[in-house]
Amino acid sequence: MVRYFAKRLGLMLIALFLIILVTFVIMHAVPGGPFTSDRNLSEEVEAALNAKYHLDDPLPKQFFDYLKGLLHGDFGPSYKFTGKTVNDFIANGFPVSGKLGGITIIFVVLASIPMGILAAVKNGKWQDMVVMAVATIGVTIPSFVIASMLIYIFSFRMGALPSFGLDSWKGYILPVITLGGYSVSYLARQMRSSLLEVMGQDYIRTARAKGLAEPKVIFKHALRNALIPVITVLGPTVANLLTGSFVVEKIFAVPGLGVHFVNSVSMRDYTTIMGVTVFYATFLLAMVFIVDVFYCLIDPRIKYD
């Protein structure tokens, strides 16, 4: 088991390395340096800047320097905000995105799993129809449309909830719904179909043949089996929500990592783009790894080789 996870960890590091490499190459393949495009700098100034940020060094050297920095947790300086580092952005943005994301995850799990269970247990009945209708809206309507609708109804018409900022708990409600809406819908559908599939399995018939009452059949025998595929999609979902959605942060003026990322893209702040990408990738891989561990804890059939 330890060997299995060590191997997974190794593969993860390789994946991470490749992601860094590809991001690095793409960033440097974009025509023009970070300082050529928008501002009119004199040639001397640009040369000085290039020298300052070691942009004159050969690419492999730049890459290994960057990698070395990463190993120490150093994402490098921002090219556009003098005196700021990418670490500053992450340190400022991530806690905001992380808190919003964390609350959203709790909301997503607490809403989607019971919704999916209800829909599956009441398969074909009105409860199922309601859940599926909500879930269909959630996966088909883009989040900015949902956000606009929510803001229109709850902020402008009713004046009940703020339309931007996270200053009070009320401020979280609309962003959380907007951010988690898709995941709630998606996971509820997953949970429903997975549970329905499990409920048709032979071992469920065995459980019923033992004389177990339906709640016991569902919660003791069906649910754990049905959760396995749901957990698989939960990993990437968690990483996604924690690192912040650009759209939601932009709409609700949340000073999170997503907004920084969008800004840095429009300003060609290469190190920030790379830094956030690498940070995001690390997070995603870590989540997938954690899911893997959970997977092994819940499913004894997984072989460690």
Partner 1 sequence: MEPILQIENLKTSFMTSNGEVQAVRGVSFSINKGEILGIVGESGSGKSVTSMSILRLLADTAVIKEGSITFEGKNLIDVSKKEMRGIRGEKISMIFQDPMSSLNPLIPVGNQVAEMILEHHPDRKKEDVKKEVLELFSRVRIPEPEKRYKCFPHEFSGGMRQRVMIAMALANKPDLLIADEPTTALDVTIQDQILHQLRELEKEYGTSIIFITHDLGVVAELCDRVIVMYGGLVMEEASIDDIFEKPGHPYTMGLLVSIPDIKQDKSVRLMPIPGSPPDMTNPPKGCPFAPRCPYARKICAQELPEFIELGEGHRTRCFLQYPDAPADEHNPFRR
CB of 196 to partner 1, least distance (A): 11
CB of 53 to partner 1, least distance (A): 55
CB of 249 to partner 1, least distance (A): 39
Binding residue for partner 1, selected from 60, 157, 209, 266, defined by CB under 8 A = 209
Number of Cβ within a 10 Å radius of residue 128: 17
Q: What is the DSSP string of 156-198?
A: IIS--S-SS--SSHHHHHHHHHHHHHHHHHHHHHHHHHHHHHH
Number of Cβ within a 10 Å radius of residue 278: 19
CB of 294 to partner 1, least distance (A): 13
Binding residue for partner 1, selected from 8, 122, 208, 250, defined by CB under 8 A = 208
Q: What is the DSSP string of 75-133?
A: --B-SSSTT-BHHHHHHHHHHHHHHHHHHHHHHHHHHHHHHHHHHHHTTTSHHHHHHHH
Size of the site for partner 1 (CB under 8 A): 19
Using CB under 8 A, which of the segments 112-120, 144-152, 269-277, 293-301 binds partner 1? Answer: 293-301
Which residue carries 């509820």 as its tokens? 188
Nearer to partner 1 (CB atom), residue 170 or residue 224: 224
Nearer to partner 1 (CB atom), residue 146 or residue 291: 291
Per CB under 8 A, 215 contacts partner 1: no
Per CB under 8 A, 211 contacts partner 1: yes
Nearer to partner 1 (CB atom), residue 130 or residue 204: 204
**Site track for partner 1 across 94-133, x = CB under 8 A:** ----------------------------------------
In Å, what is the CA distance from 77 to each residue of 10, 69, 106, 196, 223?
Answer: 29, 11, 34, 52, 49
Per CB under 8 A, 192 contacts partner 1: no
* Separation of alpha carbons 90 and 70, rounded Å: 13
CB of 2 to partner 1, least distance (A): 20
Binding residue for partner 1, selected from 205, 219, 293, 304, defined by CB under 8 A = 205
Binding residue for partner 1, selected from 44, 167, 202, 305, defined by CB under 8 A = 202
**Site track for partner 1 across 146-185, x = CB under 8 A:** ----------------------------------------
- In the region spanning residues 222 to 241, those forming contacts with partner 1, defined by CB under 8 A, are 224-225
Nearer to partner 1 (CB atom), residue 46 or residue 197: 197
Number of Cβ within a 10 Å radius of residue 112: 27
Per CB under 8 A, 32 contacts partner 1: no
Across-strand partners of 77? 85
Closest CA to 94 of 240, 241, 242, 234: 242
CB 268, CB 34: distance < 8 Å:
yes
Per CB under 8 A, 135 contacts partner 1: no
Dihedral sign for Cα 287, 293, 296, 297, please: negative
CB 227, CB 117: distance < 8 Å:
no
CB 287, CB 236: distance < 8 Å:
yes
In Å, what is the CA distance from 49 to each residue of 41, 59, 236?
Answer: 10, 17, 38
Nearer to partner 1 (CB atom), residue 56 or residue 299: 299
Binding site for partner 1 (CB under 8 A): 201-203, 205-213, 221, 224-225, 298-301
